[in-house]
Structure 1
């Protein structure tokens, strides 16, 4: 459809279009004037998302979640919050409220839940886009009632948030209280096992006792090393027997050897001078034999002494080795006892630590369950509005004009389609399928 056709249709059907437009505008105006006046009151609250827990002092991570503000809006507009408003204002006990409930529901259902759903229909909760502020508005036919409901919803919201926090804390507190008895019994059992083990092993001061025994072990080891050196030295000396350097270098042996050498020289001289049968020769030979016998006796005696010293040193070395083995076994036993004792001590410490932590959490959750502090601040309480918020007559009329224009155009087009007329050159061309060569202009009669 060309614009010329559209315009001619509107000009031809203008009275019908004006009638439809007038009907829509007048109907909207009448309805706006007849509707009861609505009053809106709003409270403004701020949610402190940086608040710390009043008991622990730690920042609450959940406040920083992106969905936190949306959750707060849902809590305000929840049935639980509305039920608190119903109970706080006592709607369920008012005779006129009960009459309205019976009239609209026939007595079916719960009056508290019915009033809660009814109140939520007129509640308007809007969070701020760039801040942590929430506007809680309520619309009613009476300004005082609207302000009362807006403030009641804010107070119910505060109580709901406190109840959510305290309910979780109460559950945690009951859980920790139920665990305390078992943890306390575990501490007592581990302590008893530690005490029994100390009594069985005769442990008083494990570290001091182990240190003393370890020191004894080190002393025995040092003595053994010294005795081993002495044994090796004594055995090496004893291996030479009478030809050992210690024997040969003995002053008495050296003296007897010198004496023997002199006597042998004297004997040789007597043999050359007097002969073997001379009394002086026989006397000299007797002296040589006596000195040689005495020297051999001393050599044998000193060699035996070296063997005895080596044997004594070896015996002492063996005794020290046995003492060292026994001391090692004792030290290892003490270390084993200390290891067992340390395990039991750690069990006691772990049991005590678990009990202390549970006791601390019990005290903490008990305080949290009794806390009535919320991270919500009321910035502005709702007051009775001076002017009604609705119905908005000018806005409704403006919308009715727009809607009326659309309906008027649609009605005009519909009437024209039902009774089609030739109103422009394009109508003839479309209907007959021929081209128009010329048109006679409309003459204006003077």
Structure 2
């Protein structure tokens, strides 16, 4: 079907289209006039974007996020918010409300729940896109009732948000209060263990024993090193008769020189006299006496050096033992200090946990008593002066548009049910034969009809009668 065929069908079925169009328009007008008038109360709410919570100092959630605004809209349309509206206005105590409840439910169920569901059916909530604005509207037959319910929903929404926050804070405060008791016991136990261990080990806050014992350990370590050096030197010097100190002694060197002189004289005398000569015997006795004195003196000096080396070794051993004992003492003090530090850290951690929980408990208590929210009523619902429905002009426009579409549709349906040949294309399309020629017929002349007179018989076929 082309556009020309469409207009030909529409022109041929114009009365059908006009009839359907008129029926739709008249029906819409009648319905608009018959329907009761409805009034809508509108409230505008704003959600403040607070970067930091003034109570706990934490960053507030991103209120510009779509899910946040959608959540707020769902809170407004929640059953709990509607129940708050019912309780705030006392709707469940009105006689007419009870009569309507009994008529609808035969007295089964809860009237508050029934009222809440009824109110939610006429409530509309629409968060503004890319904004912190929420539009709340309620529609009813009474303009004052519509405005009152809309304002009540806004106040109930603020109260619901405040209750949610305060209830959560109250639950947190109960939890923190329970934890505080446990943490306080832990803190007392840690403090008692710390003080008991400090008293048992004799450690005070300004104790300097570890520093003193460490200094003493360092001194003993230096003394041991020095004693080791002295012992090594004494042992090096005490090497018997050939020790350097023995050989370099002036008295021993003097005796050695005297012995050498006497040995020379004795050798010279032995060449002149025999062994039985008195001078020979006297010289030999003097030489033996000098040798004995030199040997005794050398032995005494060597024995003194050996005693000095032994004494130095004993002192070194004593200092080494003292150093080992001092190390044990210092290590024990360090171990006591380490254990005390562990107990102190445990006490500090318990103190820190207790103080942190106490702060959170205080914040939760403040939050549970705070009623401020980040929601404000930007515009309360005034009493509507004009009905919101039915909208006569809008319904008329929709009826005209819908009637036009339905009229055209019915015209096409009638054409499909009773197909007519209205153009050459219809013949070609319907019969599948080409059209060779198209004759244009002149309009037939209008014949004058003969007046029928009474008493005469009416012709059988008036078209065959002469003009």
Q: Is TM > 0.5 for Structure 1 vs Structure 2?
A: yes
Once residues 301 and 418 of structure 1 are traced to their aligned partners in structure 2, the CA distance between those partners, rounded to angstroms, is 156
Deviations 1:206-233 (A, max 9, x none): 9622222222222111111111111111
Partner of 1:248: 247
After superposition, residues 293-304 of structure 1 pair within 5 angstroms as 293-304=292-303
Task: Give the 3-state SS of the residue equivalent to 2:389 in structure 1.
Answer: coil
CA distance in 2, matches of 1:64, 1:325: 73
Conserved 8 A contact 1:51-1:375:
no
- Residue 360 (structure 2) pairs with residue 361 (structure 1): yes
User: Which segment drifts farther, 334-343 or 24-33?
Assistant: 334-343
When residues 22 and 280 of structure 1 are mapped into structure 2, their CA distance, relative to the original with a 3 A threshold, is: same
CA shift digits 1:6-60 (9 cap, x unpaired): 4344333323322221111111112212222222232212112334212122212
Q: Distance in 2 between matches of 1:408 and 1:218?
A: 115
1:158, 1:74 → 2: CA distance?
13
Q: Distance in 1 between matches of 2:314 and 2:276?
A: 55
8 Å Cα contact 2:231/2:312 also seen in 1: yes
d(CA) in 2 for partners of 1:107, 1:235: 119
Q: Return the offset for 1:330.
A: 2.0
Structure 1 position 249, deviation (Å): 1.8
Post-superposition offset of 1:113: 1.6
C-alpha spacing 1:275/1:99, structure 2 compared with 1 (3 Å): same
Is 2:376 aligned against 1:339? no
Alignment correspondent of 1:189: 189
Contact 1:221 1:324 in 2 (8 A): yes
CA distance in 2, matches of 1:282, 1:205: 87
Task: Output aligned runs, 1:25-40, within 5 Å.
Answer: 25-40=25-40
SS at match of 1:413: helix
Distance 1:280 1:251 in 2: 30
Return the alpha-carbon distance in structure 2 between the equivalents of residues 270 and 278 of structure 1.
10
Aligned residues: 445
Q: Are the aligned partners of 2:136 and 2:150 in contact in 1 as well (CA < 8 Å)?
A: yes
Aligned to 1:97: 97
Distance 1:372 1:444, change over 3 A: farther
Q: Secondary structure at the match of 1:53?
A: coil
Q: In structure 2, what is the equivalent of residue 314 of structure 1?
A: 313
- Kindly state the Cα deviation for residue 278 of structure 1 after the two structures are TM-superposed: 7.2
Report the CA distance shift for 1:33/1:320 in structure 2 as closer, same or farther (over 3 A): same
Structure 1's unaligned 5+ residue stretches are none
Secondary structure of 2:63 counterpart: helix
Q: TM-score, normalised by structure 1?
A: 0.90
Structure 2: 5+ residue stretches without partners: 447-467
**How does the TM-score come out when normalised to structure 2?**
0.86
Distance 1:270 1:11, change over 3 A: closer
Structure 1: distance between partners of 2:296 and 2:67: 113
Answer yes or no: is 1:111 the counterpart of 2:99: no
The aligned counterpart of 1:128 is 128
Say if 1:4 and 1:424, in contact at 8 Å, map to a contact too. Answer: no
Partner of 1:61, secondary structure, is coil
Distance in 1 (CA, whole Å) between partners of 2:420 and 2:257 is 174
Cα displacement (A) at 1:282? 6.0
Shift of residue 68 of structure 1?
0.7
Matched, 1:151 2:151: yes
- Sort the Cα spacing of 1:78 and 1:442 in 2 relative to 1 into closer, same or farther, 3 A: farther
- CA distance in 2 between counterparts of 1:441 and 1:113 reads 79
Q: 1:424 and 1:105, CA in 2 relative to 1: closer, same or farther beyond 3 A?
A: farther
2:13 equivalent in structure 1: 13
